[in-house]
Structure 1
Amino acid sequence: MSRNLMVFIAVLALLVGTLIPLTITLNVKVSESPQVTPQVSSKPLLTHTQPLGGITELVGSGLTIFKSYEDIAEFLRNLTSLTTLVGLPRTYGVEVVPITTVVPTPTPVTTLKGGVVRVSGTNVQVVGVDEPDLVKCDGRLLIIASDSKVSIVSINEKKLLTTLNFNDYVKGLYLYNNTLVVITESRPTIRPLPINDLELGCRCGFIVPEGTVNTSVYVYSVLSPEVPELKFKVWVVGPTLTSRLNGRYLYLITTLPIITPTIPIVNDVVVSPENIVRVDKYPSTYTTITSIDVLSGNYSTYSFMTGYSSWLYMSPKNLYLVSSTTPSYVDAYVTFTKVLIKYLPQDIASKVISKLDLGDFSGCVELLIDYLSSLSLDRVKELFSRVGDEVSKVVFNEVSKFYVFLVNGTSVVFRGSFEVDGRVLDQFSMEELGNYFIVATTSTNYIVKVVYQPTPIVVTPTTTAKVVECFRDRCVEKVLTITPTPQEVPKPTFYVMLQSLTTENNVFTVDIINLRVVGSLRGLAEGERVYSARLLMNTFYLVTYRSVDPLYAIDVSDPTKPKVLGYLKIPGFSEYLHPLPNNKLLGIGVEDGLKISLFDVSDPNNMSELSKIRVEGAWSPALQDHHAVTIDLDNELVLIPVSIRGSSGVTVVSYSGSSLTLKKFIGHEGVFRTVYVGDELYTISPKSIKVFNIRTLDKLCEVMLSG
């Protein structure tokens, strides 16, 4: 089998999905307000610090610490060769941000007159750890991102002060102590860009791959918001996974696939070898953590060679990145080969084992093909029947690997990792509880299938043709017998596949100190998957779904022995759970449209659905992004942007007592966020901001952001 065919097979196998076949044929707008375009002055605006905080502590932990760029290049050459041969899985993801697991309390803000006013903050997961969003408000300024622009609005004056225009797409904002942070993502590169080897002192051949997007962080002072002052900019090669702001420190996580000899770059400077750490044996991604002091401009960069991470959880001290993997073609192929070896002659088996031990999968395939091609079709069929029966008994499971980092200012230390069975499927599946980490997963098991398929022989019969030969006036007829060209006996085709079985759900508890799983609850809701979860005190609430919505209450007061206290089954499903006072739980989900539910969880053993509101044909961004949900605890209101049959607005729902009441639907085309400041409610769209009295819901004014 040729190398190109082998690569094609591997790529095809990775693209198919839950059934991964390997087929082998034996060969045998506009605003009148001032527009500001970001520019960076030519003088140095920041200091790049690279403390090896924790890097030197990793030397004895079995991780690979590179000493030179040449070492990295050599490792990448070997890795690229291996992944090309066997098709090791590479996963490309989009930004996924964990959902809130706490009730955000109004933020008190001192006004110009010395008074204090309440302000709704971004709906975040962990108190004190801010998350990126398209809207930020500090009670003085309301800042809105839309596509490639950022609008700055005065709360007191109710007017647009200025607009920042960028060449790139704005991914998220932060607002901290009159400091505005704007994170953007560029368009993909058109062609590969070589990295100057002379600057690195080696012939490494590093490039920035075609299609790579870059992430930029712009940091402004908004003390004079009419003319924001750009303090500094940091840009990183690679797309944004997500970010967090812990006090004055921004933690930006970017990824860069290891598909060619490439290397992380920050501000046109290649990350030093000492700050690049190989974590996994066969990594697929550079996971780069750039920690930035948004007040001073100091920053540090660390890059870790890992699997692709799709989820992030961050507490004040720890940062967790999650990489979920599904069994790959390689797993199926190796399993098949190891079983087949038992049926091979000793000399052939020894050679195949040697190739497998060396990781020479191409050579292994060639040996198998040569041998199998020498057998009769009946013998191959019998052999595959036996091998197929045996490999079908091997069960593979999905696995989620957690990379754990200790964060302190601009220092980032890799502490280690742990694994649990299953995939972290939902935004609400992770939370710290004291010295323990709670995670919910959905597991899908896979088995290897081998299918033998003989190629039919098409027999062309002997035929005759009449031939007439004429010379002058004389013609003679002849009969020509046509005998078909003898065909070679076609070689059989077989398929090696990974077939998915049923699903089940699990809850794991992990000792954070030792990074060890100490408790588990497996086999919940077979055939269903996790849709949402929420940790309240010592009870972990979990929603699964297939045809009804089971809400489980799981006791984790003893992390080593999690147990189900009770469950409630109701129609539809909840995509998002939000805790409310007095032992109430709010659910936002789907039941023939948008569904809002109020649960009584005062007794986890006997939960009940107190009230619900269904809006037929409605959809809300809150189903996918928890930042779209605003809870006003003082006025007992839930504010959710919705779209209904081509119109959009905000549903204002009261949760007073034990019932939900639709108080009003506020029409606002394109609305995607709501914010309250004092007694004013702001509904926000890319084109305008509408201001209402939050008690009467009467409209006060409207601020246009664009024409």
Structure 2
Amino acid sequence: MKKRFLWIVSSALALTTAFTVMASTWSVEPEVVEAADVEEDELPVVGSYENLKKLLAKEMQQRHLYGMVRAEAETAVVAAPAAGAPAPAQDTTSAKSADYSTTNTQVQGVDEADLVKTDGTYLYQATSEQIRIVQAVPANEIKVASRIDYAGGKFQPLELYVDDYRLVVIGQSYETLATKVSAAPSAKKIARRTYDQQMVKAKVYDITNKQQPRLTRELDVEGHYLSSRKIGSSLYLVANHYIDTYGVMEDQAEPAPIYRDRAQGEEYQRMPFSEIRYFPESLAPNYLMVAGINLDDAMQKMSVHSYLGGGENMYASAENLYVAVSEHKADAPVKIFQSSSFAPAPLEEKINTTLYRFALKNGTLSFSAKGSVPGTILNQFSMDEHGGYLRIATTSGNIWRTDEGTSKNNLYVLDDELNIHGKLEGIAPGERIYSARFIGDRAYMVTFKTVDPLFVIDLKKPNAPAILGALKIPGYSDYLHPYDENHLIGFGKEAEAMKDMAYYQGMKIALFDVTDVTKPIEKFKTVIGDRGTDSELLHDHKALLFSKEKELLAFPVTVHELTKQQKAQNDIREYGHFTFQGAYLYQLNLQKGFVLKDTISHLNEEDLRKSGDYWYGSDKNIRRILTIGDTLYTVSDSIVQAQKLSSNHPLGTLALTK
């Protein structure tokens, strides 16, 4: 143990010495540079290559002192145990005269890209190598109308949008850009290495002729795809571009990100440092790239903004886009030793969520406000804009701790300037949020450790959110979906407790009745399979098909089931064996609850024999379920299958070859 302490001491001293030298070399405190002719509430700009170095040096110092030394100290002392209404309040079927399903989105009028979409006649599908346009009507004559092939190239499609005459494909590409870059006026000439750069690419096609889609525009933003939204004809992209910090310090990496709108020329443009801003509270070796374009205006240039700092989650209303990032802070200055015992002192650390808001208008973005709340968020559903306020649900602390540092769950209401206007803190100590949903003047929050409390929270008074009622039941919900104003559907896992631990079991679907908000009840529930069962819906809300009018609920699921011998052992930790992958179709109403109407799989008997006990996926995995009129379509990478909704009668099957 003495050798261990000596190693930590020497490492800590070495780090301290190293960053003392770094500070003297680069004057670690960066210069705060304000852009000319900007409002005073705007973010500061990076300004120059040298200031970028200073900012990155400061970030490195904080990261190492608050991270690496803290990790060593903990290892030596003790090992720790492991504005729009919500769209899904309506059906995911279109309200247009043509009766077809649409993507399950969070906010009404704010479209989200998906793997498969339909316009009521054709299906549009993104796979790893191509886009397929499939004529789906009539269902007994399904055929491929056209393909856009990217095999062998550097572009990989990820998701797509479609409207009346336009297809937008979002994907990643790797470009070797040694020469085709127009340098920014303030760019520093450095000895640059040639390597592939990761780009987020949006390809826009005219699909007036479905047999011959025509590329009309191409947009590129350097980085890794985070998310996107489409509001009418306006497209918004968000990407993260990692910075090679050590390369920048040695003048061996190009620090400024690039972008291109091919409607404006073939050359990539480099962002000038005078236009790159930074987030003072959350420095990170990363550029957050946000871009917008009005697809109806061929003459409008792409609106591109770059920020030094990271983006982790994104939420968009019809008027604003929010980017959330975690901010780590220590309660006190870093301490390397405790003088009494010569042992590393534990460091208290708080994590806040910093929010950056961008105003959206006709394909342009502009930074409008920033704010911060204690804790971290789960996903985009932790945020919601309503009535001029942003509501946000967070978890703070650590679930494994039993002292005042244990986890707590919170709800904050932020005003137009993103200052905290109202708050409700300390919900369900010792648990963390598994799902949250904001619907009108209410919030629903599911926390979990051994049981699943569903909290109903009143938000009618933004300055005084209050718990109306709670329900504690086994299991938890990963995703909450509105059925109507008094009922909520929860998708998650069943769970069984063993001492102070809980083990998830099969997939659980529950219908909650919140008519009496003080006493919510679980009206109906059903469980699919055993431990090991999973669904893409639990990780991606867009995998859900729901129509209240059709009494239809459908989603893809991979089922694992226990054998008779396993059940006899009565071990809740035991995983089941793979038995099914495909779609589960339920009839759902308030009288009978969940009635399983059909299960559909694209796997044949040979596939099942080859699968063994565990299923790791294939191109026959059903990913999406859609409806056009009274016909239901299941889609995998290799098959499109159609059947009648009313009778489950098969109508047509199309094998999709690459």
TM range (shorter): 0.7 to 0.9
Out of 657, 662, 673, the residue aligned to residue 596 of structure 2 is: 662
Of the candidates 386, 396, 401, which is equivalent to residue 433 of structure 1?
Answer: 386
Q: Tell me the equivalent position of 1:307.
A: 309
**Selected match of 1:674 from 622, 625, 644:** 625
After TM superposition, list the pairs within 5 Å mapping 1:67-82 onto structure 2. Answer: 71-82=47-58
- What secondary structure sits across from 1:702 in the alignment? strand
**Which residue in 2 is equivalent to 1:638?**
553
Tell me which of 542, 548, 553 is aligned to 1:627: 542
Flag the 1:598–1:26 CA change in 2: closer, same or farther, 3 A.
Answer: closer
Between the two proteins, the alignment pairs up a number of residues equal to 546
Deviation at 1:183, TM superposition (A): 0.8
The match for 2:290 is: 289
Q: Mark the CA change 1:220 to 1:208 in structure 2 (over 3 Å): closer, same or farther.
A: farther
- Separation of aligned partners in 2, 1:26 and 1:56: 37
Relative to structure 1, is the Cα distance of residues 287 and 59 closer, same or farther in structure 2, using a 3 angstrom cutoff?
same
Tell me the CA shift for residue 502 of structure 1: 1.8
> After superposition, what is the alpha-carbon deviation per residue over 1:634-680, rounded to whole angstroms, capped at 9, x for unaligned?
21110011112253111111112242111221222410101111111
Q: How much does 1:81 deviate?
A: 3.3
3-state SS, counterpart of residue 221 of structure 2: strand
| Distance (Å, rounded) in 2 between the aligned partners of 1:76 and 1:140 | 52
Please state how far the C-alpha of 1:138 moved relative to its aligned partner. 1.0
CA contact (8 A) 1:309 1:322 kept: yes
The one of 131, 145, 156 aligned to 1:169: 156
Distance 1:152 1:500 in 2: 56
Maintained 8 Å contact 1:639/1:650: yes
Code of the residue aligned with 1:554 in structure 2: it is I
Cα distance in 2 for residues equivalent to 1:517 and 1:194:
48
- Aligned residue runs from structure 1 range 181-260, under 5 A: 181-187=168-174, 200=185, 202-205=187-190, 212-258=197-243, 259=245, 260=248
> Paired residue for 2:423, among 513, 520, 539?
520
Structure 2 SS opposite 1:655 = strand
Matched, 1:612 2:563: no
Distance 2:541 2:105 in 1: 8
Q: Does residue 456 of structure 2 align to residue 503 of structure 1?
A: no
Structure 1 distance, partners of 2:208, 2:180, is 39
RMSD: 3.4
Which secondary structure does the structure 1 equivalent of 2:596 belong to? strand
- Residue of structure 1 in register with 2:476 after alignment: 573
Q: What is the CA-CA distance between 1:200 and the residue it aligns to? A: 3.9
Which is bigger in relative contact order (C-alpha 8 A, separation at least 6)? 1
- Whether contact under 8 Å (1:642, 1:649) holds in the other structure is yes
Secondary structure of the structure 2 residue equivalent to 1:82: helix
Shift of 1:413: 1.3
Stretch moving more, 308-317 or 202-211: 202-211
Contact 1:395 1:445 in 2 (8 A): no
**What is the rounded CA distance, in whole Å, between the counterparts of 2:179 and 2:63 in structure 1?**
25
Q: Do the aligned residues in 1 keep the contact of 2:370 with 2:417 (CA within 8 Å)?
A: no
Work out whether 1:58 is the aligned partner of 2:38: yes
Looking at structure 2, the residues matched to 537 and 199 of structure 1 have their Cα atoms a distance apart, in angstroms, of: 46
Partners of 1:198 and 1:160 in 2: CA distance = 44
Supply the AA of the counterpart residue of 2:292.
S
Helix, strand or coil for the counterpart of 1:81?
helix
- d(CA) in 2 for partners of 1:198, 1:525: 53
* CA–CA distance in structure 2, aligned partners of residues 193 and 123 of structure 1: 41
Correspondent of 2:582 among 649, 654, 666:
649
1:121, CA displacement in angstroms? 0.6
| CA distance, structure 1, for counterparts of residue 183 and residue 508 of structure 2 | 61
Whole-angstrom CA distance in 2 between matches of 1:576 and 1:23: 47
1:532 lines up with 2:435 in the alignment: yes
Structure 1 position 692 matched with structure 2 position 595? no
Give the 3 Å change call, closer, same or farther, for CA 599–201 of structure 1 in structure 2. Answer: closer
Cα 1:642–1:206 change in 2 (3 A) is farther
* Larger Rg computed on CA atoms: 1
> 2:467 maps to which residue?
564
- In the TM superposition, what is the alpha-carbon distance from 1:632 to its structure 2 partner? 1.7
Structure 1 pair 9–60 and aligned structure 2 pair: CA distance change class (3 A) = farther
Normalised TM-score (structure 1) = 0.71
Distance 2:582 2:325 in 1: 37
Superposed, which structure 2 residues align to 1:307-326 within 5 Å? 307-326=309-328
- Give per-residue Cα distances to partners, 1:255-284, cap 9 Å, x unaligned: 112333511211211124454223326632
- Aligned with 1:133: secondary structure? coil
- Cα distance in 2 for partners of 1:629, 1:312 equals 20
Instruction: Select 2:167's aligned residue among 180, 188, 209.
Output: 180
Deviation of the 1:301 alpha carbon: 3.2
Report if the CA contact (8 A) 1:275-1:301 is conserved.
Answer: no
CA contact (8 A) 2:310 2:325 kept: yes
2:93 pairs with 1:106:
yes
| Deviation of 1:79 (Å) | 2.3
- The answer on whether the counterparts of 1:426 and 1:530 sit within 8 Å (CA) in structure 2 is no
Q: 2:354 aligns with which of 384, 401, 426?
A: 401
Partners of 1:424 and 1:541 in 2: how far apart?
Answer: 14
Identify the residue that residue 81 of structure 2 maps to in structure 1: none
Cα offset for 1:544?
0.4
Q: What is the CA distance between 1:59 and its match in structure 2?
A: 4.1
Indicate how the Cα distance of structure 1 residues 199 and 127 shifts in structure 2: closer, same or farther if over 3 A, else same: closer
Per mean C-alpha deviation after superposition, the further-off stretch among 56-65 and 293-302 is: 56-65
**1:325 offset after TM fit, Å?**
2.8
What TM-score do the two structures reach when normalised by structure 2?
A: 0.76
Q: Hey, what's the Cα distance between the residues in 2 that align with 1:445 and 1:643?
A: 32
In 2, Cα distance between equivalents of 1:334 and 1:195? 47
Distance 2:643 2:431 in 1: 42
Residue 154 of structure 1 corresponds to 135
- Structure 2 residue runs of 5 or longer lacking an equivalent are 1-6, 18-34, 68-85, 249-253, 261-267, 495-504, 560-577, 604-620
Distance 1:554 1:184 in 2: 39
Correspondence for 2:32: none
SS of corresponding position for 1:76: helix
The answer to whether the 8 A contact 2:369-2:417 is kept is no
Give the one of 588, 597, 600 matched to 2:510. 597
Residue in structure 1 matched with residue 455 of structure 2 by the alignment: 552
User: Which AA in structure 1 matches 2:393?
Assistant: A
Amino acid at match of 2:41: S
Deviations 1:363-391 (A, max 9, x none): xxxxxxxxxxxxxxxxx853747x94xxx
Aligned-partner Cα distance in 2 for 1:567–1:656: 23
Tell me, in whole angstroms, the C-alpha distance in 2 between the residues paired with 1:210 and 1:506.
45
Match of 1:276 in 2: 276
CA distance in 1, matches of 2:44, 2:317: 27
Residue 124 of structure 1 deviates from its aligned partner by 0.3
Q: What is the alpha-carbon distance in structure 1 between the residues aligned to residue 89 and residue 196 of structure 2?
A: 38
Secondary structure of 1:118's counterpart equals coil
Distance 1:515 1:85 in 2: 29
Once the two structures are overlaid, the 10-residue window that deviates more, 222-231 or 632-641, is 632-641
Q: Is the 8 A contact 1:579 1:585 kept in 2?
A: yes
Contact 1:650 1:668 in 2 (8 A): no
Code of the residue aligned with 1:61 in structure 2: it is D
Residue aligned with 2:133, SS: strand
CA contact (8 A) 2:87 2:107 kept: yes
Give 1:78's aligned amino acid: K
Write the distance in 1 (CA, Å) between the matches of 2:311 and 2:42. Answer: 21
SS in 2 for 1:60: coil
Give deviations 1:288-311, integer Å, cap 9, x for gaps. 111122233433233242431111
The one-letter code matched in structure 2 to 1:335 is V
Q: Which amino acid aligns with 1:225?
A: K
For the structure 1 residues 570 and 180, does the alpha-carbon distance in structure 2 shift closer, same or farther, using more than 3 Å as the test? Answer: same
Q: How does 1:431-470 map onto structure 2 within 5 Å?
A: 431-444=384-397
Offset from partner CA, 1:217-252 (integer Å, 9 cap, x none): 100011101110100111121111110001101000
Give the secondary structure class of the aligned counterpart of 1:502. coil
- CA-CA distance at 1:424 after TM superposition: 0.4
Report if the CA contact (8 A) 2:276-2:308 is conserved. Answer: no
Q: Call closer, same or farther: CA 1:614–1:514 in 2, change over 3 Å.
A: same
